[in-house]
Chains A and B, each alone.
Chain A
Amino acid sequence: MRAIRPRTRGAADESVVTIDTDSAPRILFYGEDFLCEDLPVGTRVIYPRKPIAGLPNVRAAIRYALHHPEEMEPLHALLKPGMKVTIALDDVSLPLPPMKRPDIRETILDIVLEMLGDHGVDDVHIIIATSLHRRMHDWEVRRMVGDKVFDAYWPEKLYNHDACDPDGMVTLGKTKHGEVVETNKRASDSDLVIYVNINLVPMDGGHKSVGVGLCGYESLKAHHTPKAIVNSDSFMDPDNSELAHSVHRIGRVCDQHMKIFHIETALNSKMFEGPLSFLMKNEDDFTEMDRLTFSAMQWTLKKTPRALRREVFMRVPAPYEVIAVHAGAAEPTHQKILARNFEQYVIPVEGQADILISGIPYISPYNVNSKALNPLLVQVMALGYFFHMYRNKPLLKKGGVMIVTHPCTDAFDPVHHPSYIEFFNRLLPETRDAYTLEKKYQDEFAYNPSYIEMYRRGNAYHGAHPFYMWYWGQKGREHCGKVIVVGSDNSTVPKLLGWERAETLAEAIAMGRSHMGRSAQITMLHHPPILMTDVR
């Protein structure tokens, strides 16, 4: 166990910090553990912005948004007795980690359902817009919507979307670009669809809510492709994302066939509190208590089995606060929410890095309450999400070195990720080429009857999902000259992912410098909490 040196300089609130000779070591996520590492002098460390203050009265903000929507009539004016309404919700992948109760979706449902009841609307179904994600467990749904709604609606009128139900899906048509628009039949048959969103990152929300959340495999095929990802610069910047453009086209076709009232929310970056609150701080500003807490936590984690560490982390909810609620038509509503997302997340940065260091945490959108962050998800966190957390230019130079810290344990959750296991062990040894994998194997996995059954009746991600995870990393793979993983507990996983291994961060930096030169600019992303860079 290493002690963190006492503070050597005054507190600073800037988001971009340059390491000097007196700087404290930096904390990096390392799966269900942390690393505490000295960084070379001159390294830039980019911190998230301080959390924007939450709305003082969230319920009032929701009511205001419903009564003053963007480019639509107020919700009450859209309601008529006897009409058929479907409410769709974002699933367990949002937010990360799951937020403290009451979840914002519970609060919104409470208000919206009361309003529907007051207007004589009884035919209401609530669908969790899982797309090809796994079905949520009943206890997860209860936590998300609250006891009152769960007890009143589950399971007949509150249920998971089923993209493989031949009787539950309908094709609305095609976009001008030939993209198939397939959606949930109950939603399509409804007089009004109300979508309740949590816009954790800028790729969420807008037309993606209905256009992806309630779609089927044939629709996703249009944009969940390696080509769309490579042409998205980045997929966190909707204006420059081919993925987002395709989803917009699909969403506009949905709008032609369905009346959709969007309720979007933005959260601040208050991800940790209590014993984990030191993760919200610059290490140079740590108090004695922070140092003690971190040291005690690291000691405890080292003595605790991985499965138990995981359970503990998964049980710690995030104290997120709502910073914006807007409602109305998809595009204007989403623009307002995106502005708040960017305000919270974007950090202006001068110049790209030659070497980018990023700690990979225990959680991703696809392994909430799973038994592992499996190797494909480690890959998607590194080369998908964290690589794409930029506007303008990638933070890492073309051909640069990305260093990630994670044990890369060869562990999968067989209930949540059965098709990932086959993808990783059968396909990756044959090829890592996303285009070949898409062409040769995607349909085989997507139509595998066992995977479909496990998706529809179990709690498994759809058979095609591991392909999307691989495509998500395609731009990063093409962009990075080298990816080095620090602290991998085996050699098989990094080899299959096409990564190099280093025992320590110092060794990885030396390897990176030998590739990029002694004067290589090194940057560390100090996340989570979430941050995005705007590189000039």
Chain B
Amino acid sequence: MPQAAPAGKSAAFYDVDGTLIKTNIVHAFGWYARHQPTLTGSIVKAAKTALSIPLFAVADKLSRKAFNELFYGYYSGEPEDRLIVLAEELFEDTIKPSIFPRARDLIEQSRRAGCRQVLVSGGLDFTVRPLARYLGVDDFIANTLEFENGYATGHLGKPFVAGATKAVIMRDYAEKHGIDLARSYAYSDSYSDYPMLAVVGHPTAVNPDWRLRATARSYDWPVLDLNNDSR
């Protein structure tokens, strides 16, 4: 089917967790927790993570910043090389099977329309990299973990990629790459990404939570269900 891209530079920015994949950063950390060098370490860390889930939920409700500080603190002391090496296995085991059935089609269609493909994720860069490669996107923007002497400090590099900051980062990215945001697309599942959606000319809610669904209906944004693989 021949298709021509419209003139001008545009990009498609995708949130990742819940938008393109079913899993989220807690699943990724859970996987690392279960894959410690020793069996005891795995059991202890996995149990600690499981018990902390209600705490994560409360922190997330309070503020994304509080959640990040609490959650990424659990990475403290993890060796950098191990996290990076295991990221490939994490992708194959957990992330790849959780990619929504229609996600690749959407990216392919968007590429055909001439858009630069960019993932904008609150996940960690080394966990997002294999996904970005697999989906064949042009770029990804993700959080970075600070390391000292090869070990994670439990702190994120700034700026955090979350909430309103995503919009600021996207603006900077667009300026750097000569992209017209008014002609660009953004996709997210969560109301917390409202700023990211509002900054582009073509926002789309994907598998949205109820608040984003209501917002999308109010603003007449398209709503997609990438989990639907029906003919």
Partner-B contacts on A (CB < 8 A): 155-156, 159-160, 162, 164-166, 169, 171, 180, 182, 216-218, 412, 414, 418, 421-422, 425, 443-444, 447-454, 456-458
Contacts and interface: CB of A to CB of B under 8 A. Distances in A.
A169 B110 CA distance: 18
Contacts, number: 79
Given A421-B220, A457-B230, A169 B109 contact: no
Contact of A452 (B5, B109, B228): B109
A414 B105 CA distance: 22
B231 A160 contact: yes
B3 A182 contact: no
Given A414-B220, A454-B224, A457-B230, A448 B2 contact: no
A113 B3 CA distance: 37
A164 B105 CA distance: 11
B116 to A, nearest CB: 13
A137 to B, nearest CB: 10
13 contacts: A171-B1, A418-B220, A418-B223, A422-B220, A447-B6, A449-B115, A453-B102, A453-B106, A453-B224, A454-B224, A457-B102, A457-B225, A457-B229
Given A164-B109, A218-B1, A447-B113, 11 more contacts: A155-B231, A159-B231, A164-B1, A414-B220, A418-B222, A418-B223, A449-B106, A450-B187, A450-B202, A452-B109, A453-B109
A450 B185 contact: yes
B39 interface: no
Contact of A182 (B1, B110, B202): B1
Contact of A448 (B187, B202, B226, B228): B202
B4 A443 contact: yes
B181 interface: no
Given A159-B231, A450-B224, A453-B105, A216 B1 contact: yes
Nearest to B108: A166
B222 A451 contact: yes
Contacts of B212: none
B87 interface: no
B19 interface: no
Interface in B84-121: 102, 105-106, 109-110, 112-115
Given A155-B231, A449-B113, A453-B102, A444 B6 contact: yes
Q: Which of A217, A412, A457 has the most CB of B within 10 A?
A: A457
Contacts of B223: 414, 418
A452 B222 CA distance: 11
A458 B1 contact: no
Q: Which of A425, A447, A449 has the most CB of B within 10 A?
A: A449
B12 interface: yes
B217 interface: yes
B224 A458 contact: yes
Contacts of B222: 414, 418, 450-451, 454
Contacts of B102: 453, 457
A413 to B, nearest CB: 11
Contacts of A218: 1-3
A218 B217 CA distance: 31
Interface in B109-150: 109-110, 112-115
8 smallest A-B Cβ distances: which pairs?
A: A449-B110, A447-B113, A449-B109, A450-B222, A450-B204, A421-B220, A159-B231, A169-B1
A456 B105 contact: yes
A162 B220 CA distance: 25
Contacts of A182: 1
A212 B105 CA distance: 25
A456 B6 CA distance: 20
Nearest to B110: A449
Contacts of B202: 448, 450
A180 B102 CA distance: 29
B230 A447 contact: no
Contacts of B114: 447
Contacts of B228: 457-458
Nearest to B223: A414
B53 to A, nearest CB: 32
Contacts of A443: 4, 6
B224 to A, nearest CB: 5
A375 to B, nearest CB: 13
B231 A458 contact: no
B48 to A, nearest CB: 40
A444 B4 CA distance: 10
Contact of B1 (A166, A412, A453): A166
Contacts of A162: 231
Contacts of A456: 105
Given A164-B1, A422-B220, A449-B109, A458 B225 contact: yes
Contacts of A451: 222
Given A155-B230, A457-B225, A458-B225, A447 B5 contact: yes
A204 to B, nearest CB: 25
Contacts of B185: 448-450
Nearest to A419: B222
A159 B204 CA distance: 27
A510 B227 CA distance: 56
Contacts of A448: 113, 185, 202
A443 B5 CA distance: 8
Nearest to A180: B2
A493 B225 CA distance: 30
B99 to A, nearest CB: 15
Contacts of A165: 1
A46 B217 CA distance: 42
Contacts of A160: 231
A454 B106 CA distance: 10
A254 B86 CA distance: 55
Contacts of B12: 449
B112 to A, nearest CB: 7
A155 B216 CA distance: 30
A355 B107 CA distance: 52
Contacts of A457: 102, 224-225, 228-230
Contacts of B220: 412, 414, 418, 421-422, 425
Nearest to B224: A453
Interface in B3-39: 3-6, 12
B114 to A, nearest CB: 8
A227 B215 CA distance: 39
A422 B222 CA distance: 10
B2 A171 contact: yes
Nearest to A138: B230
Contacts of B187: 450
A299 B185 CA distance: 48
B131 to A, nearest CB: 19
Nearest to B183: A444
A18 B105 CA distance: 60
B3 A447 contact: yes
